[in-house]
Every structure is written in C-alpha cells, then in structure tokens.
Amino acid sequence: MLCALALTGCLFTGPASAQADLAGATAKLTLQVATAMLGERCRRVEAPNPASFASVSLHRTFHDDFEAHPLLNERWAPHYAGGAAWPEARYWGGDGSDFRRKTSYNGEQQIYVDPRYGGRETTPLGLDPFKVKDGILSITASRTPPALKAVLFNNEYISGILTTQSRFSQKYGYFEIRAKVPVGTGVWPAFWMLADDGGWPPEVDIMEGRGQRPGDIAMTTHWRIPSTQRIESCGFDFKIADAATAFHNYGVLWQPERITYFIDRQPVSEIKVPVGFSDPMYMIVNLAMGSKFFEGVGFVDGESPATVAFEIDRISAYQIDER
C-alpha cells in the first residue's frame, strides 16, 4: 500500500462465501498450512491435498471487534507515526502536518482526518471518518467540503487510517481482518503491515481492493534485495464475487520460513519469507482515494462516489503456540 508495485500473478476464483463459524475470533485458532518445499517466487495454493498440510496452533494476542469508537481505547492511531524528532503537536495540525496523513508518492487524493485534526490550522476541525454501529466500524471517505479545501491542503477527499505502530506489533503469527471491500473509481481499501522500526520494505499487503474491479482482491509481499537495493514484489489477485456486499476474512500467517495468505481461513497463496523480515510488524487499515501505481483503482473523477465506506467487523492477531 505504501508503495504498491505491479503484481505478479493472475485472477482466479477463491472461496465464494464465508462460513458461519468464521464470524468470530476465538481465543484459540488452528490453521492448515502446506508443507511442500518453497521456491524463490510466490505460488498459489490450489486443490490442496490434506496429506500435504500441517496444522498450526495459535493463541490470540490482539482483538478489536469495534463495539466502541476505535480512538477511545489507545489501540489505534489515526495517522502514520513519525520519528523521535517529530513534535507531538504536528500530528494534529499546522503546515506540513499532512505529511503523516497521506502517501503522496502513490498519487493519493485523500487526507486522513480525525476529530482532533486541524489541517493547516491548529484548531480541531471535528471531522470524524470513523463510525461504529452494531459492532461494525465504517471508515468513510467523502468529498472534502469546499469551505475546508484550502485548510485541508486541497485534497479531493477526507478519509481515515488506523495504525498500531508503537502500540502493537508482533514478529510471526496470524493477522486477520473481517470486512466488506468497497468499490468505485478511485476507491482503494487496504489492510497491511509494515516493520515497526519504520523501515520500508518489508511490506505485507494482506488485502487490497481495486475499486474499479469489483470483487478483485490483491494479496502481495514486498521486499528489498540488499546487494542491489532493488524492490521486489510477488502476489496474486483473487476473485471474490460478493466481496463488496458480504463479510469475508482476509489473513496472513507469517512463520519463520513461510508466509501464507488466507481467504476465509483457507490458504490461497504462499511465499518463502524474503530477506529483511527480521523485525516485528504492525497493522494498518485505511481507505485511500486515488492511485498512481496500483492498477484497477484509478484517479478520482466525476464518477467517483461522493461517499464510500469500508465496513470492518473485526481485526485480530494471533501468535504461534510454542511446541
């Protein structure tokens, strides 16, 4: 998400609907993972033979089922974190404060807001993209009110991001979101992870929606080759026909030697852990608008929705049980 490159892979049909027992996030969880040797590139997991899979037992370490506003419990921050030299006040307003509230390199056309944020000013604007109803969090992107366009750095949309950087991070384990994936021109929802030390890559894109391609879900790994500093990416797209209208689980299991992507807790792709995955990673969920590089999103135009919501039932993390 931070720097989305072209994916390697193709589109194919994954699980069609979530099973009833997938709605919850139990304290204990068991996943099935392939045991076959891995090559240097990612690959799809197709028509699995039960004899070629092993069970991985996990226990829950993080859980938010969004019964309350996400900014009430100190689990989430509504912006990217800065370094030690970044003054605390700069997160909440003033010239340059948009630096931690969008990723301009991607060509994004939104700014991430929250009720405390003041844009170019230091007085809170009271804008809240986060709504909770019946245990569902909606991150809503909407066109910037004309009267606030200048104070919000002339961004076309206001939207929201939640990150656990410096609040929760974990090395290895399973990370999962249960959500509906919104669509529309310029719509770019994502659930992803970065290294807690602030470096990039590595990056694990657990779920990205291509707004102009309903039901198209991308799952990708990014890493850097130390000798050349070249960025490498490998991943696949999966077709989930009702992704925009039904809740599905999207997850990744990070083991010392293998990264496995899951849809509705069924393994769909895997990759040998690339170089550079040595630090704990934190979770990010956001709804961006507009993209320069991520195909199938496009730039905001007159056909883009005036408002669009990324509906999230829960986000959970699990750690691998010791044997």
pLDDT of 51: 77
Domain boundaries, the chain: 28-82+95-320
Which pLDDT tens digit goes with each residue over 256-305?
999 999 999 999 999 999 999 999 999 999 999 999 999 999 999 999 99
Q: Using the predicted structure, report yes or no on whether residue 2 has a pLDDT greater than 70.
A: no
pLDDT of 83: 61
Which band of pLDDT confidence, cut at 50, 70 and 90, is reported for residue 239? very high
Rounded to an integer, the average pLDDT of 89-110 is: 91
pLDDT of 84: 59
Rounded to an integer, the average pLDDT of 92-96 is: 92
Give the tokens for residue 316: 């959970």
pLDDT of 82: 67
Mean pLDDT of the chain: 91
d(CA 156, CA 145): 9
d(CA 304, CA 186): 6
Buried b or exposed e, range 138-156, using 16+ CB within 10 angstroms: bbbbbbbeeeeeebbbebb
The model carries a pTM of 0.93
Q: 162: which strand partners?
A: 285
Which pLDDT tens digit goes with each residue over 139-193?
999 999 999 999 999 999 999 999 999 899 999 999 999 999 999 999 999 999 9
Measured at the CA of 234, the angle between CA 111 and CA 35, to 5 degrees, comes to: 125
Give the tokens for residue 314: 């829960």
Which pLDDT tens digit goes with each residue over 7-54?
444 444 444 333 447 878 899 999 999 999 999 899 999 876 777 899
The type of residue at 255 is: Q
Q: Using the predicted structure, report yes or no on whether residue 130 has a pLDDT greater than 60.
A: yes
pLDDT of 24: 81
Rounded to an integer, the average pLDDT of 231-254 is: 98
pLDDT of 4: 42
DSSP state of 52: G
Averaging pLDDT over each range in 49-53, 77-81, 116-120, which range is the top one? Answer: 116-120
Q: Kindly report the three-state secondary structure assignment for every residue of 63-102.
A: EECCCCCCCCCCCCECCCCCCCCCCHHHHCCCCCHHHHCC
Which band of pLDDT confidence, cut at 50, 70 and 90, is reported for residue 199? confident
The type of residue at 172 is: Y
Rounded to an integer, the average pLDDT of 64-91 is: 87
Coil, strand or helix: which one is 39? coil
pLDDT of 197: 83
pLDDT of 57: 98
pLDDT of 17: 36
The type of residue at 133 is: K
Q: Where are the beta strands (DSSP E) in the chain?
A: 11-13, 28-34, 43-44, 53-64, 110-112, 130-133, 136-143, 157-159, 161-163, 173-179, 187-195, 203-209, 216-224, 231-239, 248-254, 258-263, 266-272, 281-289, 307-320
- Mind telling me the catalytic residues? 203, 208
The class of domain 28-82+95-320 in CATH terms is mainly beta
d(CA 222, CA 281): 13
Question: Torsion angle of alpha carbons 280, 206, 82, 295, nearest 10°?
Answer: 140
Q: Using the predicted structure, report yes or no on whether residue 115 has a pLDDT greater than 90.
A: yes
